[in-house]
Chain A
Amino acid sequence: MDRLPSYKISSLGETALIIDFGNTIDESINKLVHSLFYQLQNDPIPGMIEAVPGYSSLTIYYDILFIRNLLNKQTTAFEWISESIKKFIPKENIETGDPQILIKVPVCYEIEYAPDLSFIASQNKISPDEVIYLHTSTDYHIYMLGFLPGFAYMGMVDEKISSSRKQKPEFVEAGSIGIAGKQTGIYPFRSQGGWQIIGRTPLKLFDKEKINPVLFKAGDKVQFYSITKDEFEDIKNRNA
């Protein structure tokens, strides 16, 4: 990315605003979102409650009562946050300030845990082994977390293993690895889901007993590696 994309600020109700860099899935724009996000984490605007990174947008939630107490009667909290955010938006493209962590995630791709693997293989006219090979041969960028506690939206998968969503969501087990379009992700809980399931990890993606209950954060890198069913059981028992 040579030039900074333009952005638009819009309201998400009177308690939050969205800084939108265009409705797109693009790693460099997403890194810009993260750069802004981590700057605000380190140096929050007074009155900011929290910030949430999306694919190409950052949303800031703020405390109207706190901000309006700081201001004169004519200025709204929205105007004030919109103005305060400007100095954080970099003038030129910079690498994301937060150190990237590479997390290696073991995945069992055996049929029992991979109900849709053969569908993806046949849809793309490749063998199931090739699907596994392609899924495990790249590092994935975590664009954002959302949908469920600890659900990371990652990408992009190779064109040859991309797939449409299911027509109707089905129940998927915790740890299931899915593909939707060129995105890949892991379901932290048993839940309804529309992504095509190609494997399962024995790792606990969400552990409420931990200080950081969620394994991933936006901006991390993930690499999948293939394990057997026995290894899956071993890791699962060790983590239990």
Chain B
Amino acid sequence: MNLKILKTGMLDSIQDSGRLGYQQFGINPGGTMDKYAAAIANILVGNNTDEAVIEMHFPAPAIFFDQPAMIALSGADFSANINGTQIPLNHAVIINKNTTLQFHTPKNKSRCYLAVKGGVKISKWLNSYSTNLVAEAGGFLGRKLLKDDTLELNNSTNTYNLKDTDDFKILPWSANEDFGIQYKEEFLVMPGSEWDWLDKASQEKFLKNPFFISHNSDRMGYRLASEPLHSATKTELVSSAVNFGTIQLLPDGQLIILMADHQTTGGYPRLGNIISAHLSILAQMKAGDKIQFKFTDHQTAENLILKQQQHLTQLEIACKLRLENYIHENYRH
């Protein structure tokens, strides 16, 4: 055993960048809600950006390590500490054997990502580590993590000999997670294929009114509360594919935004889609938060996600170099 859950959190699951290629069978991509934060956590410990991470919500778990490890946290700040000493987000941290990672208070955001150098030793299901809770497959036994679950760390890919260390160190450099997101109080939205089903007044409301994330929101989708919108047509949509970020009009006039665990197809009108560069902001929002929509075009949406990718690539190069130098100076004799 290398890592043990001492206390069950609200919903902690193994996720990666998603399970691609199986939507034709009704199997959704799933994966992390905040792909950007998960990538940063992985990059900080020198993993590939699609390595499995633990996605945590608050109340968060307590996690015991019986081996030295290099870890990083990114995303929500739940006031993490190692054996009582606070550790910051967006730093690589080297921990001793027999240490416990705990979380005290949720300070901001909704989802915190834990990356461990080398990843955890679990097998992929359909080419992905992501937990599919509906199919009870993938991740750790196809379910959320529970008290007493133990996970082995992948030491085979651990190129640094951390076992010899007896240290607790917060590595001095950090990743700036705000750069690359480019969100200015409004979610940029691409118009959806059924946008013109809305009557004129509702189209105006969609672009003007605030919408509030309701409590009835989870990894599958966020239900929004607002003044109801109305379809100008009685036509029903035959089932067709949807996407992470698709905004659907429900029969009661309210909206739902589909999130990482969305079903592959749906029959509600698709009014728009949040651009992927903004999904990580949305993934970190909470019930009661206010959101507003603004239309954008393909060029802008594509350029923003490319920019975010470039930022991650630069970060990856910089972190690899720093990490190698640091390990060289401190651990190789």
Identify the A interface with B (CB < 8 A).
8, 10-16, 18, 20, 23-25, 37, 49-57, 59, 61, 64-65, 68, 76-79, 144-151, 153, 189, 191, 206, 208, 213-214, 217-218
Contact = CB atoms under 8 A, between A and B. Distances in A.
A147 B263 contact: yes
Contacts of A208: 125, 135-137, 142
Interface string B18-32: 001111111110000
B70 to A, nearest CB: 28
SS class, residues of chain A in contact with chain B: mixed
B192 interface: yes
Interface string B274-285: 111000000000
A206 B132 CA distance: 13
A66 to B, nearest CB: 11
B241 A214 contact: no
B241 A13 contact: no
Contacts of B241: 12, 16, 18, 52, 54, 57, 59, 146
A148 B263 contact: yes
A53 B265 CA distance: 9
A217 B25 contact: yes
A149 B305 contact: no
Interface stretch (B79-87, B107-115, B150-158, B296-304): B296-304
Nearest to B308: A65
B238 interface: yes
B240 A78 contact: no
**Interface size class of chain B, counting residues whose CB lies under 8 Å from the partner chain:** 35 or more
Contacts of A151: 26
A64 B246 CA distance: 18
18 contacts: A11-B190, A13-B243, A13-B245, A14-B276, A14-B298, A15-B276, A50-B22, A52-B264, A52-B265, A55-B239, A56-B238, A61-B20, A61-B23, A146-B263, A149-B28, A149-B134, A150-B26, A208-B125
B144 interface: no
Interface string B175-210: 000000000000000111100000000000000000
A144 B239 contact: yes
Contacts of B191: 11
A54 B265 contact: yes
Contact of A18 (B26, B193, B264): B193
A78 B23 CA distance: 20
B306 interface: yes
Contacts of A68: 302, 306
A145 B26 CA distance: 5
